[in-house]
Amino acid sequence: DGGITQSPKYLFRKEGQNVTLSCEQNLNHDAMYWYRQDPGQGLRLIYYSQIVNDFQKGDIAEGYSVSREKKESFPLTVTSAQKNPTAFYLCASSLDPRDRGSGYTFGSGTRLTVV
């Protein structure tokens, strides 16, 4: 079945540690996105990528980094510079964003907790 796979489902990070969240899709979608979700807040865009080897910062990129070496993969690294990383992280993909109205397909999320 086609879809987006995020791993791990739960992740615990110690202070000062970098961690990487995995996102893989087999939908042949061009664009991929990372969002952060906090209780009572909407999804906030961290980074997005429209094509391989290219990505742009979203609204809250500080303390995060990404890569897009393959079309199907878009990993997110939460660095020690991110001071409040505890949140639910969602990866999404869509067809060519120039296509009108292409909705997102979301993964099942990774819950990151600082310990």
Describe the chain by its helix, strand, coil percentages, rounded to 5: 0, 50, 50
Determine the interface stretch with another protein among 11-19, 61-69, 73-81, 89-97 (rule: CB under 8 A). 89-97
Determine the interface stretch with another protein among 12-20, 60-68, 78-86, 106-114 (rule: CB under 8 A). 106-114
Determine the interface stretch with another protein among 13-21, 28-36, 68-76, 79-87 (rule: CB under 8 A). 28-36
**Contact (CB, 8 A) for 32 and 96:** no
CB contact set of 6 (below 8 Å; sequence gap of 6+): 21, 22, 23, 89, 90, 91, 107, 108, 109, 110
If one asks whether residue 31 binds another protein (CB under 8 A), the answer comes out as yes
- Interacting residues with another protein (CB under 8 A): 4, 6, 31, 33, 35, 40-45, 48, 50, 56, 58, 90, 92, 94, 97-98, 100-109, 111
